[in-house]
Chain A
């Protein structure tokens, strides 16, 4: 079956612009996660959704970052007024349940470059 998909695969933007990154989880997966992977910080958790609600937003680095999930499916991560330090690969993952032992399935990521 189809895995987690993300779009776009690459995004180049200018400093100060807003960007939206999209994640399509595996069908039927109730939990969805966003992570960021960068050279300086490694792999960092950003936010977790259970259904359409986000009980854990603790990893969002600033109020320029926000995310939503609609219909218990697609999620969008929005970065406003992008900065060069936002350049990273943004990874989305989904899991069938929200338990700590649940396997998270990862998408290929969106590589964001802020000029």
Chain B
């Protein structure tokens, strides 16, 4: 079954530092991949998605992710962290032939001043 693995349940960065959140997928064919963000006591909001149109995907709030087939990775990055980026981030895959999303375990991003 297609799945995603997020390395690191917590990532801490300083304000202004690079943000790197890791996601690896398991699939023999390039799947649809998503990054969602969840702020406290809120639902999930889509940051960006990969649908095979371009390997470098730009999303909202300055985030981007690069699809690397050779590494089966879809890491999320942002050049400069802001305090408002503190939230939980979920990588997800839409398995081929299914309509559901399969989520990773999430990474909580902590941003310190």
Taking Cβ atoms with an 8 Å cutoff, the residues of A that contact B are 4, 31, 33, 35, 42-45, 48, 50, 55-56, 59, 91, 93, 98-109
Contact = CB atoms under 8 A, between A and B. Distances in A.
A12 B31 CA distance: 39
Interface string B81-113: 000000000100011111111111110000000
B96 A100 contact: yes
Given A42-B106, A101-B32, A101-B94, A109 B43 contact: yes
Interface of B: 31-32, 36, 41-46, 49, 51, 90, 94-106
Contacts of A101: 32, 49, 51, 94
A33 B90 CA distance: 17
A100 B94 contact: yes
B100 A108 contact: no
Nearest to B6: A42
A73 to B, nearest CB: 18
Contacts of A56: 98-100
Contacts of B42: 108
19 contacts: A35-B101, A42-B104, A43-B106, A45-B100, A48-B99, A48-B100, A55-B99, A56-B100, A59-B100, A91-B44, A100-B94, A100-B95, A100-B99, A101-B49, A101-B94, A103-B49, A105-B46, A106-B36, A106-B45
| Listed residue (B94, B101, B102) with the most chain A CB atoms within 10 angstroms of its CB | B101
- Chain A interface, DSSP helix/strand/loop, else mixed: strand
Contacts of B94: 100-101
B44 A106 contact: yes
A97 B31 CA distance: 18
Top 10 nearest A-B pairs (CB, nearest first) are A106-B43, A100-B94, A43-B103, A45-B100, A106-B44, A101-B51, A108-B43, A101-B32, A100-B32, A48-B99
